[in-house]
Structure 1
Amino acid sequence: MSYIKAGQDANGQDVKLHYIDQGQGNPIVLIHGWPATYEMWEYQLAELPKHGNRVIAYTRRGFGNSTKTWDGHDYDTLADDLKAVLDELDLQNVTLVGFSMGGGEIARYMSRHGGARVARVAFVSAVTPFLLKTDDNPDGAPQKVFDGMVDGIRKDRFDFLASFGKKFFGVGVVSHPVSDATLDWMRSMCQLASPRATEQDVYAFAATDFRRDLQTIKVPTLVIHGTSDETVPHKMSGARMTQYVPHAKYVEYDGAPHGLFITEKDRLNQDLLTFVGATVNAQANQHTY
């Protein structure tokens, strides 16, 4: 296994992030969603390197085979972890692709670290711009929604993950877009997370307001969201992104659930490949995809 050191935790222990690095060419960094690992990108890791790309994916602290830290489950720390990945591998002209919670890491990294080393960014089923309902964010979800998630995790994390997986992929009485084997694979992956990280990251992606972070993004931006996403509904997330990143290209996948990296894998791969080949007219600030 390969690891990148991302500083130390509050007890002075090294924090190591499990990662994979394959292919050659344009660097693409894939940032996974909650509560999975980088292995969720199986179909992207299998396809994107075939087209002249170097593809790196890593698992955030507290999940999978990365260090199980007690603290540090806030977006400032997670953005610093992303910086450690880019710096350690000395990546330049990077395309960042963040799924769900991973979109928050991109937004915070771009503001906190000035977008260093980054050429373009893609938000897939992302939690941005802001999920929590507040006085100035009336379209968000009430706090009780996220408290209910944490309560479910504390009561029976494994049962919660089983139910969450079905909603994640849009599985219902008459709809079964993924196999039982895929549901088992995803659940097993998510069970590797520490209970502490699983809980704390809910509060992180629920309560973090990324609206100001997004306004700092000047590079080409792609936003992809499924219209049948019940986990992070597109009307409170993807559909609002151009309010804060006016030059972003917003693409809706009609009828797609949250986990479209599986259900719409071929289309997603093609859209990402097209995006990586984008050209930028810097003077006119126009972006061609």
Structure 2
Amino acid sequence: MPHFETTDGTALAYEDYGTGAPVVFVAGWSLHSDMWEYQVPYFLDHGYRCVLLDRRGHGRSDRPTTGYDVDTRADDLAALLEKLDLTEATLVGHSGGGGEIVRYLARHGSDRVAGVALLAAALPMLRRTDDNPEGIPAEFCAATLAQLRIDRPKWFADRAQGYFATHLGNAVSQAIIDHEIRRCLVTAPHAALAVQQELFHTDHRADVAALPVPALIVHGTADQSIPLETTSRHTARLAPENTFKEYPTAGHGLYITHATQLNADLREFIER
């Protein structure tokens, strides 16, 4: 697996497959590029180039002490696009990856980007404030960080069924659930804590309102990880040019449970 070095000397792992129009996949919090195993073969079969990044502290990338703020993570994404000299790319981000994408556009512009897809994204702002009354209380974030410090594997295991919304009939084997938890646990503990805290506190409302390219916004109505009303419905009201799709039976793990529908929607968006 190739690596490239960022400006602060951190070596980041990436994958680059195929030819054609580039689709850049940015993983969600605590996940890495392998999460896209149900997307990459589909897009390769349809003639696309698939580029995937393991953010710092995640997957096969270095685990530095610092650099987990959203600006640095967005700059890491920029460094990858520049290294590969990608143009007319579609950036696809899940959960926390959505924040890195919109901050990338705010900091680096859209010269290399044709459009973005924000999947169950932690946007535009998670925490509750006076001007964001539907947000999540600060106490909830503090409790989450405390639980992750005490027993991170149990935290993921306790939320696995809800992550895939299996109570709505989504067919997900125990093997897939266990495998996805193992992927999450590859992430450096200090990186998981730092990025989780950043996701909660970062305000992306200005980034979303100024999006310079078309956006596809997809979210499951049964998402227990990133509440739909606080996030994607608000994002759809802010983003200048967007297509908003709600999946009625999807949870946060829609990239697995609803892969067929999601892949078709992504391809339609890219081609349009």
| TM-score by shorter chain over 0.5 | yes
Match of 1:197 among 184, 191, 196: 191
Instruction: Tell me the secondary structure at the aligned position of residue 7 of structure 2.
Output: strand
Asked whether the 8 Å contact 1:103–1:128 carries over to 2, the reply is yes
Asked whether the 8 Å contact 2:170–2:257 carries over to 1, the reply is no
Letter in 2 for 1:260: L
What displacement does 1:36 show? Answer: 0.8
Report what 2:46 is aligned to.
Answer: 51
Instruction: Tell me which moved more, 223-232 or 245-254.
Output: 245-254
Report runs of 4+ in structure 1 exceeding 6 Å deviation.
none
Q: Distance in 1 between matches of 2:134 and 2:110?
A: 29
Report what 1:5 is aligned to.
Answer: 5
Report what 1:223 is aligned to.
Answer: 217
Report what 2:244 is aligned to.
Answer: 250
Q: Distance in 1 between matches of 2:4 and 2:42?
A: 24
- Closer, same or farther in 2 for the Cα pair 1:176/1:25, shift >3 Å? closer
Q: Distance in 2 between matches of 1:242 and 1:225?
A: 11
Instruction: Tell me which moved more, 175-184 or 73-82.
Output: 175-184
Asked whether the 8 Å contact 1:23–1:50 carries over to 2, the reply is no
What displacement does 1:260 show? Answer: 0.2
Asked whether the 8 Å contact 2:210–2:240 carries over to 1, the reply is no
What displacement does 1:177 show? Answer: 3.2
Match of 1:125 among 113, 120, 123: 120
Report what 2:101 is aligned to.
Answer: 106
Letter in 2 for 1:157: R
Does 1:273 pair with 2:257? no
Q: Distance in 2 between matches of 1:171 and 1:150?
A: 25
What displacement does 1:176 show? Answer: 5.7
Identity %: 38
What displacement does 1:7 show? Answer: 2.1
1:53-87 C-alpha deviation (Å, 9 max, x unpaired): 10101111011111111111110000000001100
Aligned pairs for 1:127-146 (under 5 A) are 127-146=122-141
Does 1:39 pair with 2:34? yes
Aligned pairs for 1:177-216 (under 5 A) are 177-216=171-210
Asked whether the 8 Å contact 1:170–1:177 carries over to 2, the reply is no
1:88-137 C-alpha deviation (Å, 9 max, x unpaired): 01100110011000000111011111223111111000001111001110
What displacement does 1:242 show? Answer: 2.4
What displacement does 1:258 show? Answer: 0.7
What displacement does 1:2 show? Answer: 1.2
Tell me the number of residue pairs that the alignment of Structure 1 and Structure 2 aligns: 272
Letter in 2 for 1:3: H
Report what 2:61 is aligned to.
Answer: 66
Q: Distance in 1 between matches of 2:43 and 2:217?
A: 18
